[in-house]
Amino acid sequence: MKNQKGFTLIEMLIVLFIISILILVTVPNVTKHRNTIDDKGCEAYIRMIQGQVESYKIEYKTIPTLDQLVNKGYLREGMDKCPNGKGFTIETDGTVTLTNQ
């Protein structure tokens, strides 16, 4: 018999089994971390919007709406949602709060 090189079916199945286990362990962790990243990004986004509201208040002596922030160049068009898809509102006292929309 020749000295054959290659993998047997059992060896291939073992490798596939190990890869499957690694995938099953990694996918839930990636999903969990993605949610955390989106939440942290949203917190930073709200703070940035709050800073823009404060800048507008200093310059115009009034609480802005989202449209006013966009029209005056404080925000770009379409910046009305956080990275996680939630929206925000600007309260009458100038506080920016997160909504579930």
Task: Report DSSP letters for 84-99, one per residue.
Answer: TS-BEEE-TTS-EEE-
pTM: 0.67
In terms of pLDDT, which residue wins out, 84 or 70? 70
15 domain residue, yes or no: no
Number of domains present in the structure of the chain: 1
Tokens (6 digits) for 6? 């290659």
71 domain residue, yes or no: yes
35 domain residue, yes or no: yes
**How far from chain centre, in Å, is Cα 48?**
15
Residue 82 has pLDDT above 90, yes or no: no
7 domain residue, yes or no: no
pLDDT value, residue 96: 93
54 domain residue, yes or no: yes
pLDDT value, residue 57: 95
The phi and psi torsions of 81 (rounded to 5 degrees) equal: -140, 150
In terms of pLDDT, which residue wins out, 73 or 1? 73
Residue 2 has pLDDT above 70, yes or no: no
CA–CA gap between residue 42 and residue 86 (Å, rounded): 8
Residue 50's domain spans which residues?
20-98
57 domain residue, yes or no: yes
